[in-house]
Structures are given as C-alpha cells and as structure tokens.
Amino acid sequence: MQNVVEFLKKEGNLRVISEKLDVELEIPHIAYIEVKKETSSPLLFTNPINKRLGIEYNTPVLMNIFANRDITEKILGRNPDEIAKDIDRLLKFKPPKTFLEKIKSIPELLSLRKVFPKRVKRLGLCQEVIIKKRDIDLDKLPILKTWEDDGGRFITMGQVYTRSLDGSTQNLGMYRLQQYGKDRLGVHWQIHKDASAFFDEYKRAGKMMPVSVAIGGDPLYIWCGQAPMPHGMFELLLYGFIRRENPILVKSITNGIYIPQDVDIVIEGFVDPDRLEIEGPFGDHTGYYTLKEPYPVMEVETITMKKNPIFQATVVGKPPLEDKYMGWATERIFLPLLKPMAPDLIDYYMPENGVFHNLILAKMKTLYRGHAKQFMHAFWGVGQMSFVKHAVFVNSDAPELTDHMAITRYILNRVSQDRIFISEGIVDALDHSSDEPLVGGKLGVDATGDEVEEGVKKPLSDGELFEKIQKIDSSIKELKQYFRDTKNPITVVKVEKREAILKNIEQFYPLKEHIKILVFVDDKNNSIDNPYMLIWRVVNNIDASRDIILNPIIAVDGTNKGEIDGFGREWPDDTHCTKEVLDSLQKRGLIDIDDDFIKKFGLLEF
C-alpha cells in the first residue's frame, strides 16, 4: 500500500483519465456513474482543474477506491469473514492455565503486539513538504463540489484525527469538511460521534481543540475511520489487527496529534469551541441533501504533504456507491461484536438501498415467545445499531439474507399486524423524516414464526385494482402489486399528493379483501417499476410512529412531507445530477449511459 496507485493498477483495474476535468461537478459525476456499473473500477483523474477559479492542479484525484467487492477484499488483505473469525477467537480467548496451553497461545499473543500504533519521533513521508500559516491556500487542493446545490466544496474522504482533553484517548473519524476560505474548514461531526464528545470537553474547559485531517495513504485508514468501534477505542487498533503490522504514526507539526506517516496530505489546526458557522447544504449518502446547520470551524495552521501527493475523494448520494462495499466489509467483520449482546444472532444484513441505518435484516435462533422483540430492544440500545430505523427478524430456517427475492417472500408470508412493533428512539442526525431531529419512530417486524394462514381473500390484477382504487381517489396515478404469490402482497401506488395521505386512509378500507400492504409514494421522481429505488425512497421517508397504519390494512406513507402533513421541519431535496454536465460528459465520451440507466438510479428529475 506504499504506492496505492500502482496497487490499484495491478489489482483493481484502475482507469486513468487524463482529460482536463473540473473538480466542480464533472469529476464527481463521472465517479458517481462509474461506481453504479456492475463492473466498476477505481478512477484516477490526472489533470483536475477548476474552471470557476481558473486553476490547473498538480495533484491528481483518486476516486472509487472501494469500487467493488474484489478490490475491497484486496485492500483488507483477506476476506472479511476471515477477519471476523479472528475477532471471534480473540473475544473467546481465555488465559492459559497449563504450561502447554501457554506455549500454544504464544503465536496469538505475539500477533496482538502488531495491533498497537507505534509512535516515532522522526518526520514522516507525509511531512516532506511543510506549508506554514502565511502560505496556506486550500484553493490549491483539488477539493470537490459534488452536487449543484452543495453549499461549496467539500473534503469527502478526510481522516479526521482528534483526541480527548486529557490526551488519553485518540479518535479517527470520517467526517466531511466544507471549505470556507483559504485557511478555514467546517467540520461536520455529528452529535453522537466521539469527536463531538471531545469537542464538548474542550468547550467546558474553554480551550482550543486540536484537529488533524489526513488525506490519502493506505485506503484501510479510511475504512477504519468509518468502522463502528466501541467508544473510547482508537480505530487504528483495527488497522493493526487487520494488517498484522503496527501502524506507524508521526506527530503533527502544529498541534501534537499523531497521524499515519504515509498519508499524502495532512491539514493541521485547531477548532475554537465557542465558534460555530453554518455548514451545508450537502448531498449526502442518504441520497438527500443535509440542510444548513451550525458546525465547528477549523482554523488551519499548517499543511504537510508528500512531494507528489494524491488527493483521495469519494462521492455520496443515491445508492449504490462505494460505501456499499465499505459497508459490506464492516457488516461482516463486526458480526462477532454483536453476538455477545445477542447470543442467538446467526447473521445480519444491511442492504445498501436502505442506506445502512434505515434497514436491517437479521437471522436468529428463536427460542421463546418474544425473543425477536428482545432482539429489537437490544439492537436499538447499543452503539451505532441504535440508529437503525427498521429491523426485520427471521428464523434460522430462513433463506440467505442476501437472496433478496427468497427472503422477501419468506418475510411477507409471516407478516401480520400483531407481529409488528412500533417504538421510538434515537435516529441518525442525517435522518430527515422525523418530526424532531435525532428522535423518531422505530419499526420492528417479527418474521420468525410460522406462515400466516390468511392471504388476500379476493386477488385482483393490477388493472382491476387500479380501476377500483381510482374510483375512490383520483389523485392516484399508477399502481403495481409486488409478490402476489405471498400471503401479504405489496401494493405500491403513486399519488399526486393534495393532502396528508393518512388523513383519509379509511376511504381505502373497503379494499381490504384485495390489499394487505398499501404503500404510497409521490408521483414525481419515483418509478413504480423500480423496487430497488422504491425501497430506498420509502425507508428514507417514513417515521414509523407517524407514517404507518396497521389495521385493517397495513398502510405506509412513503411520500415527501410538508406543510399539508403538519410537518414543521424543512424537507430536503434528493440528489440529482446536473443534466448539462451529463450531456457534456456523454458528448466527450467520458461516460456512456442511456435513459434506462438514468431512470434506474434516479440521476435526473422526472
């Protein structure tokens, strides 16, 4: 990993693009489209420019490093399930009692020495060039603007290193940073992150908070930065565990924080805890914009870098993106850490179109009545699992969780109103659907039992059902039924919304002989024939405590909310590409997409 580009050329089918391309929209749009392909590749843009600022950069931009499962596995060095087995062995490790047991445990104990970061006093490769305060100009870095309505340019793959006030704990997080000027960055660490807790310590003490942002180096640093490590544990311990070698850290020039010696660029500085500025909007990994909010400001004191640095970046928006593959690795590796608090958990799966925290499927060994509900409480009460909005539990006899068609049929054959649990709890700071920030509805589905006995009493074709439902409500424009062969078919309708959907839900109750589950989505920007994006839309848009009715049919309001719903917060737009940029890139042969591709992934408004 000393030379990431050479590694990706050899192992990852790296695509090198030498044409001059703008860091604002053009480069991100190409990366966004590339990673949605079935066989996507990492991208190296060797001639980035900024047309608006009139800049030609000397620093190449590397994107889509985690472009597919194969390259993600190669970055990790082995299959994630193998790493999970090592973690499981470590969790079950018992102190040796006999001399023979001690001898047998030596290799495992010696391997643990490689876990801990090693701090060295010399300068690192990342400090070959040192730029002092008076010469700092963040405009000289090829920082990207991904979406037309973004509030500015954002560092999207920054490794943000922070430490506690007493210096006893260090943290690595992956937070976006908005460029405010030549030497100022907005730091978007959310309230539930370790860095935010450190920030509160410095604020109470009235002291400046040191922050170092690293860019580049071994891609595993980035993966560690987003890994859900237990509170207080330095994420680079995971790096050492996976790589089986000590991460080598050097001291920042200005603020004393240690960073990996082989990263490409380090931005050092301090955050004033008493100073906040508006950050955003930003088209985020939910596929929606996060809105303007006050966040801390980092004053840059020093920038260091290699002599020939590479600027790593990622693009976020609607799935699938490279966080699909990063999330896959996280999901597999952290399974053993979930099992102690849920011993009968067999497996779990977080589909990327549920943007991870919005949907989880879990397979368990069901031992007694209420066991699945016990799991729901356990999941919603610990670590980053507490941010999951919708959890579906199946029994050990269920198909593979990743077999989408089979597992969906299994679940739909077991759904009933008395097996659905709606609660309330903490939600992710990026969630836009709850009535108040950070707190919202939770949905738990117990699909561990036997199949329900009764299905739809009088099935109808789509055409017959659409005719009946339109007589009730002419605002419904399209209808499609999914999984009609199950006990609980899903009926999806597109509606030209004129009032709150559930306000007059009783008008649809006469159709209960024909409908089991009725899902509403907006007429605009939704394709009734695209279940992948319909799932994305609905799990993003619902607050279970407000948007679900259970009897006599299960009705789900997956529409955008606003004034007619009594929704008091601002509802964000979802991310769309800029058509003029797509047309230009297509004309120049830099992308090759058709209308089906555009519609499939919701690239443009329709």
Are 355 and 431 a contacting pair, CB within 8 Å?
no
Q: Collapsing DSSP states into helix, strand and coil, what is residue 211?
A: strand
Q: Collapsing DSSP states into helix, strand and coil, what is residue 267?
A: strand
Q: Collapsing DSSP states into helix, strand and coil, what is residue 131?
A: strand
Copy the structure tokens of residue 167: 């210096």
Burial 107-134 (b: 16+ CB within 10 A, else e): eeeeeeebbebeeeeeebbbbeeebeee
pLDDT at 230: 78
pLDDT at 413: 97
Please state, in angstroms and rounded to a whole number, the distance separating the CA atoms of residues 126 and 306. 5
Ordered strands of the 248-251 beta sheet: 118-119, 248-251, 258-260
Are 515 and 490 a contacting pair, CB within 8 Å?
no
User: Taking each helix axis from N to C terminus, what angle separates 236-243 and 80-91, rounded to the nearest 10 degrees?
Assistant: 110
Is it true that the peptide bond before 117 is cis, omega within 30 degrees of 0?
Answer: no
pLDDT at 588: 96
Please state, in angstroms and rounded to a whole number, the distance separating the CA atoms of residues 276 and 209. 13
All residues at 6 or more sequence positions from 126 whose CB lies less than 8 Å from its CB, including other chains: 214, 217, 250, 259, 260, 261, 262, 263, 264, 265, 266, 304, 305, 306
Amino acid at 83: I
All residues at 6 or more sequence positions from 176 whose CB lies less than 8 Å from its CB, including other chains: 154, 155, 156, 158, 188, 282
pTM over 0.85: yes
Strands 248-251 and 209-215, by their bridges, are: unpaired
Q: Collapsing DSSP states into helix, strand and coil, what is residue 96?
A: coil
Query: pLDDT tens digit string along 42-55?
Result: 999 999 999 999 99
Burial 575-603 (b: 16+ CB within 10 A, else e): bbbbeebbebbeeeebbebeeeebebbbb
pLDDT at 192: 76
Kindly tell me the sign of the dihedral angle through the C-alpha atoms of 407, 410, 412, 414. Answer: negative
Please state, in angstroms and rounded to a whole number, the distance separating the CA atoms of residues 110 and 216. 29
Residue 107: left if φ>0, alpha if ψ -120 to 50, beta else—which one? alpha
Are 537 and 511 a contacting pair, CB within 8 Å?
no
Q: Collapsing DSSP states into helix, strand and coil, what is residue 458?
A: coil
pLDDT at 196: 87
Amino acid at 140: K
In sequence order, what DSSP letters do the residues of 295-364 get, joined into one string? Answer: EEEEEEEEEEE-SS--EEE---SSSSSTHHHHHHHHHHHTHHHHGGGSTTEEEEE--GGGTTTT-EEEEE
474 φ, ψ to 5°?
-75, -10
Please state, in angstroms and rounded to a whole number, the distance separating the CA atoms of residues 602 and 436. 28
Please state, in angstroms and rounded to a whole number, the distance separating the CA atoms of residues 69 and 326. 9
Are 64 and 31 a contacting pair, CB within 8 Å?
yes
**Half-sphere exposure for 199 (CA within 13 Å, toward CB):** 24
Residue 391: exposure state from Cβ atoms within 10 A (0-12, 13-18, ≥19): buried
Are 169 and 117 a contacting pair, CB within 8 Å?
no
In sequence order, what DSSP letters do the residues of 460-508 get, joined into one string? Answer: --HHHHHHHHHHH-TTEEEEEEE-TTSSS-EEEEEE--SS-GGGGGGGG
Please state, in angstroms and rounded to a whole number, the distance separating the CA atoms of residues 348 and 443. 16
Other CB atoms within a 10 A radius of the CB of residue 191 amount to 12
Are 244 and 140 a contacting pair, CB within 8 Å?
no
**CA dist list (Å): 70 to 11, 77, 80, 391:** 9, 10, 11, 28
Are 160 and 174 a contacting pair, CB within 8 Å?
yes
Closest CA relative to residue 180, chosen from 275, 259, 263: 275
Are 27 and 278 a contacting pair, CB within 8 Å?
no
Please state, in angstroms and rounded to a whole number, the distance separating the CA atoms of residues 74 and 7. 10
Are 146 and 156 a contacting pair, CB within 8 Å?
yes
Are 103 and 243 a contacting pair, CB within 8 Å?
no
E-assigned strands of 64-219?
118-119, 129-131, 154-155, 159-163, 170-173, 177-179, 184-187, 209-215
Are 316 and 66 a contacting pair, CB within 8 Å?
no
Q: Collapsing DSSP states into helix, strand and coil, what is residue 118?
A: strand
Spans of the chain below 50 pLDDT: 1
- 3-class SS string, 23-36: CECHHHHHHHHHCC
Q: Which domains does the chain have, with CATH numbers?
A: 4-313 (2.30.110.10), 323-447 (3.40.1670.10), 462-565 (3.40.1670.10)
What's the N-to-C CA distance of the chain in angstroms?
A: 43
